[in-house]
Amino acid sequence: MLSLNLSTLIAILSTLTAVVSLIFSWKAVKAAERSNFAGIYTELYKIYLEPKTFEAIKKIWEMYSAFEGHAVGQPITDQQAYELVTTLDRDSLEWHSIHLMSLFWRYVSILVRKNYLDREVAFEAFTSPRMLGFLAPIEYAFLRHHYSYTGKREDLPLQWLYNLWQKHRNKKS
């Protein structure tokens, strides 16, 4: 028969307690991640279902449909984006719609980039990311016109998300 001294027994029990605690901690983290994802998705969906968001989506599609290539999400040209940025009245419904939907997609972009929101969910759960073909060039033109932005277009949140969506779409095809 094996004889264990008291310090060995305490060490074994401490190790077992640590292993069991680690397992429960891991399960708690996984449950929190699921809960966090559900909370984020719910909040995004609430924003998406607001009447002002619905009106903004309709207005964006109306404006975007005037441009060739909108049906496949092709971006508007830099010149077209610049014209919109310099001619639209900042108090107009069109400008408020662009602003609201740009903010919505920027938020989605941050969540996807930080892995808080799954790409599949971002691209399938809300209005079509084709809209980014309209919003991303406007974001770039706005920053260049008003803030003399000289950075890379790909670093901007909407362009980054648009490029990611293009890759995602090409994989599915």
pLDDT for residue 35: 60
What would the mean pLDDT of 99-111 be, rounded to a whole number?
Answer: 92
pLDDT for residue 76: 94
| Structural domain includes residue 13 | no
pLDDT digits (tens, 9 = 90+) for 149-159: 999 999 999 99
pLDDT for residue 4: 67
DSSP state of 156: S
- Vertex 33 angle, CA 29 and 34, to 5°: 120
> Which residues lie below 8 Å from residue 119, measured CB to CB, with a gap of 6+?
112, 164, 168
DSSP state of 35: H
| Structural domain includes residue 153 | yes
| Structural domain includes residue 23 | no
Tokens coding 58: 């309709």
Provide the number of structural domains found in the chain: 1
CA distance linking residue 66 with residue 139, whole number of Å: 18
| Structural domain includes residue 150 | yes
Cβ-in-10-Å burial (0-12, 13-18, 19+) of 4 comes to exposed
| Full domain range(s) for residue 95 | 33-172
pLDDT for residue 34: 58
> Is residue 10 scored above 90 in pLDDT?
no
Average pLDDT of the residues of the chain: 86
| Structural domain includes residue 98 | yes
pLDDT digits (tens, 9 = 90+) for 25-76: 777 666 566 567 778 878 888 888 899 999 999 999 999 999 988 878 889 9
- Who has greater pLDDT, 105 or 9? 105
pLDDT digits (tens, 9 = 90+) for 81-99: 999 999 999 999 999 999 9
| Structural domain includes residue 24 | no
Other Cβ atoms within 10 Å of 96 Cβ, number: 16
| Structural domain includes residue 105 | yes
Virtual CA dihedral for 85, 88, 92, 97, nearest 10 degrees? -40
- 70 and 134 in contact (C-beta within 8 Å)? yes
Secondary structure of 86-151 in HEC code, one letter for each residue: HHCCCCCHHHHHHHHHHHHHHHHHHHHHCCCCCHHHHHHCCCCHHHHHHHHHHHHHHHHHHHCCCC
pLDDT for residue 136: 96
pLDDT for residue 1: 47
pLDDT for residue 8: 80
pLDDT for residue 70: 83
